[in-house]
């Protein structure tokens, strides 16, 4: 009886998690296409040791060199942004040129040790934040291998303008993704 009860509770928890994930993906899709809006309610702010929005409290923050890139990406191609620690904000570009700006800042770590690289690929452009590993080498741009920021609190905040018809792929680990009025496919994960 005890085992059956445990299995039932476990299955109910799995189903609840699946429903929550489905609702989350549906909400993200609706937000991406501008069908619904979201505004945080009073008291909804998050302040913890992983918070990447330091604008209210700049004490001890060090600004790194800014990053700027712009270029043409043909409709049907993709603009891919890989961040680790920090938010990604994307809006529709006013013309046919994509633009990516990044701000780097940290408190304990030197933001200039984190590099933002551009990789031109067959199907578009990949822009990624590369953090130093303990051995001093930088992480690869490939998000599936060796992404670590151990003891590095540098935040890279991406501002992206995406032309009409260009797919946006936005991935970050510790930060939000805000997408507004894009006219192309979107894949976002945090």
The predicted-structure confidence for 56-93, as pLDDT tens digits, reads as follows 455 667 898 999 999 999 999 999 999 999 999 999 99
In whole numbers, what is the pLDDT of the chain averaged over residues? 77
Q: Where are the domains of the chain?
A: 1-33, 62-190
DSSP state of 139: P
The predicted-structure confidence for 86-109, as pLDDT tens digits, reads as follows 999 999 999 999 999 999 999 989
Nearest to 35 by CA among 149, 187, 181, 188: 181
CB atoms within 10 A of CB 80: 20
Nearest to 158 by CA among 124, 188, 123, 122: 188
- Label the pairing between strands 67-72 and 97-106: antiparallel
The predicted-structure confidence for 4-61, as pLDDT tens digits, reads as follows 444 444 454 454 455 444 445 444 444 444 544 443 333 333 333 344 554 545 566 7
| Backbone angle region of 151, left / alpha / beta, with phi > 0 → left and psi within -120 to 50 → alpha | left
């Amino acid at each position: 009886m005890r085992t059956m009860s445990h299995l039932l509770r476990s299955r109910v928890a799995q189903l609840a998690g699946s429903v929550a994930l489905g609702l989350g993906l549906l909400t993200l899709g609706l937000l991406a296409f501008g069908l619904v809006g979201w505004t945080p309610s009073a008291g909804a702010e998050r302040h913890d040791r992983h918070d990447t929005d330091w604008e209210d409290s700049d004490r001890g923050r060090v600004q790194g060199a800014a990053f700027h890139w712009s270029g043409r990406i043909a409709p049907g191609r993709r603009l891919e942004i890989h961040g680790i620690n920090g938010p990604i904000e994307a809006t529709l570009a006013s013309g046919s040129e994509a633009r990516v700006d990044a701000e780097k800042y940290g408190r304990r770590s030197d933001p200039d040790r984190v590099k933002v690289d551009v990789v031109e690929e067959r199907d578009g452009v990949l822009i990624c934040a590369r953090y130093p590993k303990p051995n001093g080498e930088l992480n690869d741009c490939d998000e599936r291998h060796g992404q670590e920021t151990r003891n590095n609190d540098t935040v890279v905040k991406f501002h992206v303008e995406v032309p009409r018809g260009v797919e946006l792929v936005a991935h970050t680990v510790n930060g939000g993704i805000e997408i507004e009025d894009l006219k192309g496919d979107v894949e976002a994960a945090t």
